[in-house]
C-alpha cells in the first residue's frame, strides 16, 4: 500500500510538471507534431504555416498541444506567435533589431527571432519576442538558460536558440563612433558670388556649384546675371 501511494504521488508530481495554463499559438512556419517529446518520436501530423493549436503544457524543450482530439508534442524552437484566448492579441514583438545605447563587456547577437521569458523555464510567461540581429547584454546563466538585458530589464533566453557571442573586437566595431563627414570640396569657380565670370563655361560651373551649396555664399545673394 505504501509503495502504491508513493507511486501515485510521483505520478501526480509528474503530471503537475506538465501542467500549465492553456493558450493558443499560431505557427509562423510549417511544423511537425509528434507522439512524444523527442525527435525520435513518430511524426503524427505536419501543420502548415498559419495553423493555430492549443498549448496544454510543456516539458523540457517541448510543448504539449491539442490537435484533432489528440495530445501531441511540438518542439519549442519552432517559430510561432502566442495568441491570447484565440484572439489576435500578439505577444509584444520587437520588429527591428534591438541595440542597447551602451555596450556591455559580454554581449550576444540573435541569429533568429527569439522569445524572452520572465523566468528560466518554458512554463514561464513570454515577455517579448525579439527580432533577429538583436544585441543583448549577457549577465548570467542557469542550466541551459541565459540571463540577458532587454530595455533595462533582465529576462531569460533559452541557450539552444541560435545566437553568437560577440568578441570584444566585434563589440568595439559595432559601437565605434561614425567617421566624421568628409570636408567640402575646394572649388574656386564661384564667380557669381565674389567676382564677375570671365567665360560662359565659368559662369555655367559657378551657377550649378552655387545652387549645390559648394560656394561660400554671402548673406545676400548677388545678381546671378553676367554683367
**pLDDT tens digits, 98-145:** 888 888 889 999 998 888 999 998 888 888 888 889 999 999 999 999
Residue 87's pLDDT is 38
Close Cβ partners of 77 (under 8 Å, ≥ 6 residues apart): 61, 158, 160, 161
pLDDT in tens, 143-162: 999 999 998 899 999 998 89
* 167 and 195 in a common domain: no
Positions of the chain with pLDDT lower than 50, given as ranges:
2-20, 86-90, 218-227
Number of Cβ atoms within 10 Å of the Cβ of 214: 17
Residue 86's pLDDT is 45
Assigned domain for 62 exists: yes
Torsion angles phi and psi, residue 38, rounded to 5: -160, 145
CA dist., res. 84 & res. 17, Å (int): 22
- Whole-angstrom CA distances from 86 to 24, 51, 89 are 6, 12, 8
Annotate 13-33 with b (16+ C-beta within 10 A) or e (fewer). eeeeeeebeebbbebeeebbb
* 111 and 74 in a common domain: no
CA dist., res. 221 & res. 34, Å (int): 77
* 191 and 136 in a common domain: no
Residue 152's pLDDT is 87
Close Cβ partners of 143 (under 8 Å, ≥ 6 residues apart): 120
Torsion angles phi and psi, residue 130, rounded to 5: -105, 155
* 191 and 169 in a common domain: no
* 67 and 7 in a common domain: yes
Residue 205's pLDDT is 77
* 188 and 168 in a common domain: no
Assigned domain for 8 exists: yes
* 123 and 55 in a common domain: no
Torsion angles phi and psi, residue 86, rounded to 5: 75, 5
Assigned domain for 98 exists: no
User: What burial class does residue 135 get, using C-beta atoms within 10 Å of its C-beta: 0-12 exposed, 13-18 middle, 19+ buried?
Assistant: buried
Q: Give pTM, 2 decimals.
A: 0.46
- The residue behind cell 547584454 is 137
Residue 3's pLDDT is 47
Residue 204's pLDDT is 81
- Whole-angstrom CA distances from 128 to 6, 91, 95, 188 are 40, 6, 11, 57
Assigned domain for 225 exists: yes
What nine digits make up the cell of 192? 557669381
Assigned domain for 163 exists: yes
Assigned domain for 169 exists: yes
Assigned domain for 101 exists: no
CATH code of the domain in which 10 resides: 2.30.30.40
β-sheet bridge partners, residue 83: 24
What nine digits make up the cell of 103? 555596450
Q: Which of 174, 192, 211 is the last residue of a domain?
A: 174
Assigned domain for 10 exists: yes
- The residue behind cell 489576435 is 88
- The residue behind cell 568595439 is 172
Total count of domains within the chain: 3
Domain housing 77: 2-83
Amino acid at each position: 500500500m505504501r509503495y502504491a501511494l508513493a507511486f501515485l504521488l510521483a505520478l501526480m508530481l509528474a503530471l503537475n510538471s506538465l501542467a500549465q495554463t492553456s493558450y493558443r499559438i499560431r505557427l509562423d512556419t510549417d511544423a511537425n507534431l509528434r507522439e512524444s517529446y523527442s525527435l525520435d518520436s513518430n511524426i503524427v501530423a505536419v501543420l502548415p504555416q498559419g495553423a493555430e493549436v492549443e498549448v496544454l503544457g510543456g516539458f523540457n524543450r517541448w510543448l504539449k498541444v491539442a490537435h484533432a482530439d489528440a495530445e501531441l508534442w511540438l518542439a519549442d524552437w519552432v517559430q510561432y506567435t502566442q495568441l491570447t484566448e484565440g484572439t489576435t492579441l500578439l505577444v509584444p514583438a520587437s520588429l527591428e533589431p534591438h541595440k542597447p545605447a551602451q555596450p556591455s563587456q559580454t554581449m550576444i547577437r540573435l541569429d533568429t527571432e527569439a522569445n524572452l521569458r520572465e523566468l528560466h523555464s518554458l512554463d514561464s510567461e513570454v515577455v517579448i519576442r525579439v527580432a533577429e540581429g538583436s544585441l543583448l547584454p549577457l549577465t548570467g546563466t542557469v542550466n541551459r538558460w541565459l540571463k540577458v538585458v532587454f530595455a533595462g530589464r533582465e529576462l531569460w533566453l533559452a541557450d539552444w536558440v541560435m545566437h553568437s557571442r560577440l568578441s570584444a573586437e566585434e563589440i568595439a566595431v559595432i559601437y565605434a563612433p561614425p567617421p566624421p563627414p568628409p570636408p567640402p570640396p575646394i572649388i574656386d569657380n564661384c564667380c557669381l558670388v565674389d567676382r564677375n565670370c570671365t567665360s560662359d563655361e565659368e559662369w555655367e560651373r559657378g551657377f550649378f556649384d552655387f545652387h549645390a551649396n559648394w560656394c561660400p555664399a554671402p548673406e545676400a545673394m548677388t545678381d546671378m546675371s553676367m554683367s
